[in-house]
Amino acid sequence: MQLVRESTDKAIWLERTQYEESVYNISISKNGKLAIFNSATGAVVLMDSDTIINLPTKEKLCLVENGFLVPIGTQEYNRYISKIKISDKEKPDFFTIIPTTVCNAKCFYCYEEEYCKLTVNDAILDKIINYLSQHLGDNAECVLDWYGGEPLLCVNQIDKIVSTLRARGKLINRWSSSITTNGTLLSKEIIAHLIQEWHLSVAHITIDGTEKEHNYRKNVTLNGESAFQKTFSGIYELLSAGVYVNLRIHLDHLNKASFPDILQKLSVLFQFEKLHLFPTFLFPPEHSMPESYIKDSEKEELFYDVFKSLLTSKYKTDLKDMFPQPRYKGCFATRPNTLVIAPNGDVHACVQDFNTLSMTNTCKYSNFRYALEACKECAYLPICLGGCLYNRNLSNTVRTPCVRNRYIIKPLLKLLIERTI
């Protein structure tokens, strides 16, 4: 037996106690090998047996400590949700600010296409600054998260927010910012400005395929320049400057076969420790499923191919680290310390849902506990916490609330077995 990854919260062996398999065990058996992931502990084990019950004491002790075996009758769901915290903080300290819903790209999958195009005006800008001032203490420890649309279309407006809050003593040396951008407006000079003036520490950027695929999907006019090359250069400069880059790679049936080619093109970035690759599927429109989109029944196969390519590439990763850890907090939409501010000054719970809050109402999604109850019998619950609440609230939708973590475990277990045979 090989304990591939230990639990971060080990259980205690109880003498003269009968044990049974955890309801949170997710397993794959192949060629006489058994690989198990426990979603409540994050532990992973690889065995030469097809059962985990009748084992020698030493091995059984290891399985108990790491949550694969629990005392018969254990109320695992109750034990897990007792550890969940909505947030450690009650006062807002993470502000997602959307200065515009306008974007220079025209991504076909963007959910914001259905929204009217708004850019913050001077009156609303002052309103947002005053609102932030009221919620931030002096020398506040906080994150300002710039979102869009394309936030780099509003550099002057963001500069005013930051400089005014600095002048008021709200932002001194305990704050940082993050940005979600398509990367086409980045340059060495802009990046230096973002780091110096905005305290930029994290950037979220998306690649939509090979250069040809990416340029077609972004459909952005850049005076003859390649959108892919502009974004690629921006990512390189961000990483060179020490900014953490979460690089999302959108995949569907039309570009999934080119994933190894995408990795090859990106390989020059793999020298940087602050690069994180996040290949994933596209969320479909709310009420239709285009043929090119990956259906739920196809997602595990997608991730098997994706992870196999990642593990054979030059990207620095370890299979055991690709398994998610259990979660004890919900998404930003459920946390009282996070807010989304729209270009019209309204405050919301979620960047996808512009109907959940008003400027004076700070209640959050009320069905978080309901979502947990709805998924009570699911072995994946501790790594997804009921999935996307926005999608769960939709009526007559083709979307599932289940998120990426639901579909990556079995492909990873399969690869674990294959790499040890």
Q: With left for phi above 0 and alpha for psi between -120 and 50, is residue 404 left, alpha or beta?
A: alpha
Inform me whether the pLDDT recorded for 360 exceeds 50: no
Q: Which segment of 122-126, 272-276, 384-388 scores lowest on mean pLDDT?
A: 384-388
pLDDT cut 70: percent of the chain above it: 94
Instruction: Give the range with max mean pLDDT: 14-23, 182-191, 373-382.
Output: 182-191
Assess if residue 237 is contained within a domain.
Answer: no
Q: Which segment of 2-16, 185-199, 232-246, 354-368 scores lowest on mean pLDDT?
A: 354-368
Assess if residue 54 is contained within a domain.
Answer: yes
Q: How many domains does the chain have?
A: 1
- Residue 358's nearest CA partner among 146, 131, 165 is 131
Q: What is the pLDDT of residue 361?
A: 41
Q: What is the pLDDT of residue 366?
A: 57
Give CA–CA dist 158/152, Å, rounded. 9
Assess if residue 30 is contained within a domain.
Answer: yes
Comparison of pLDDT for 338 and 150, the residue scoring more: 150
Each residue's pLDDT tens digit, 218-227: 988 788 889 9
Comparison of pLDDT for 287 and 401, the residue scoring more: 401
Q: What is the pLDDT of residue 370?
A: 67
Inform me whether the pLDDT recorded for 336 exceeds 90: no
pTM, rounded to two decimals: 0.93
Give CA–CA dist 252/385, Å, rounded. 25
Q: With left for phi above 0 and alpha for psi between -120 and 50, is residue 31 left, alpha or beta?
A: left
The average pLDDT across 12-37 equals: 91
Assess if residue 65 is contained within a domain.
Answer: yes
Q: How far from each other are the two terminal CA atoms of the chain, in whole angstroms?
A: 14
Inform me whether the pLDDT recorded for 202 exceeds 80: yes
Assess if residue 151 is contained within a domain.
Answer: no
Assess if residue 48 is contained within a domain.
Answer: yes
What average pLDDT is seen over the chain?
91
The average pLDDT across 335-357 equals: 82
Comparison of pLDDT for 155 and 50, the residue scoring more: 155
Assess if residue 18 is contained within a domain.
Answer: yes
Q: What is the pLDDT of residue 158?
A: 98
Comparison of pLDDT for 31 and 325, the residue scoring more: 325
Assess if residue 306 is contained within a domain.
Answer: no
pLDDT band at 359 (very low <50, low <70, confident <90, very high): very low
Inform me whether the pLDDT recorded for 88 exceeds 70: no
Inform me whether the pLDDT recorded for 246 exceeds 80: yes
Comparison of pLDDT for 9 and 269, the residue scoring more: 269
pLDDT cut 90: percent of the chain above it: 68
Q: Is the dihedral of CA 243, 211, 115, 281 positive or negative?
A: negative
Inform me whether the pLDDT recorded for 62 exceeds 90: yes
Q: What is the pLDDT of residue 333?
A: 81
The average pLDDT across 177-188 equals: 97
Q: What is the pLDDT of residue 357?
A: 53
Q: Which segment of 52-66, 150-164, 169-183, 233-247 scores lowest on mean pLDDT?
A: 52-66
Q: Are 333 and 390 in contact (CB under 8 A)?
A: yes
Domain with 28 in it? 2-75
